[in-house]
Amino acid sequence: MLTRKQHELLMYIHKHLNETGFSPSFEEMKDALKLKSKSGIHRLITALEERNFLARRAHRARALEVLRLPEDMAPRRQPRIPADAPAPPSNVIAANFTRAAKPAEPAPPETISLPLFGKIAAGVPIEALRDAGTNVDVAASMLGIGEHYALEVAGDSMQDAGILDGDTVVIRRGETAENGAIVVALVDENEVTLKRLWKRGATVALEPANKAYETRIFGPDRVQVQGKLVGLLRKYH
């Protein structure tokens, strides 16, 4: 069963895909459902994904796919014709419903275009920036399985780990990471930061890679991992 808002969002995305060929932006979905923030849209989309109504296409921004509709909206099956049914009249052309052979899958690209989010900014969860509209090409060999995005780094808190102000980091989306991994973390649902993660008992530590900054300690319910660092891009001027 879907909630009223989940049903409303699913039908809006389905209609938008049919009319335009691409999925609506978070801003368009927020306005259509009369919600105050994009984070509410993110929660609805996550719920629809968990119920197998929606899926995100990997490595593409603004790419949602409707997997199925609620049963009351799904098209009815055509009645099955019995094997002993009489043949159609001679002036009727019998339809051939044999499914065409599926075309061969194209070779994997050498580069993959990832959505490039803006600089890490307090008060803006990463998911709220999914429709930023800017992409960056990344070598396919840098990526593994899963969904990825790129993020511009602001500040020098991770410089001793080789991550400098203005660098672009490649992040694999996920909610868990092992001790010592560099992660994108959402603190108190308000501040997004790139730090090294350490879990010690009932506490979570976010450690910078710069002695000018202090390690911050939080309770486990205050920190949400939003992705793990898997690569870094740098432009030389």
| Cα 188–chain centre separation | 21
Which token pair is 191?
Answer: 């501040």
Nearest alpha-carbon partner for 155 in 127, 193, 206: 193
Instruction: Give the E-state strand segments of the chain in sequence order.
Output: 54-56, 64-66, 111-119, 135-139, 148-152, 168-173, 182-187, 191-200, 203-207, 216-218, 223-233
Which of helix, strand or coil describes residue 184? strand
Q: Is 237 a residue whose pLDDT tops 80?
A: no
Contact residues for 16 (Cβ-Cβ < 8 A; gap 6+): 22, 23, 24, 28
Q: What pLDDT sits at residue 150?
A: 86
Q: Which of 23, 30, 157, 228 is catalytic?
A: 157
Query: Token digits for 16?
Result: 């938008």
37 catalytic? Reply is no
Kindly report, residue by residue over 120-177, the tens digit of the pLDDT.
644 445 554 554 567 888 887 777 788 888 888 888 889 999 999 888 898 888 888 9
SS3 168: strand
Q: Which of 29-38, 56-65, 109-118, 200-209 has the highest mean pLDDT?
A: 200-209
b/e 108-141 (16+ beta carbons within 10 angstroms → b): eeeebebbbbeebeeebbbbbbbbbeebbebeee
Better-scored residue on pLDDT, 15 or 71: 15
What residue ranges define each of the domains in the chain, with the CATH number in brackets?
4-66 (1.10.10.10), 111-233 (2.10.109.10)
**195 flagged as catalytic:** yes
Report the alpha-carbon distance of residue 24 to residue 13 in Å, rounded: 7
- Considering the candidates 5, 195, 199, 235, report the single residue annotated as catalytic: 195
Distances (CA, A) of 223 to 70, 127, 136: 35, 15, 28
pLDDT of residue 196: 94
Residues 160 and 173: beta-carbon distance below 8 Å? no
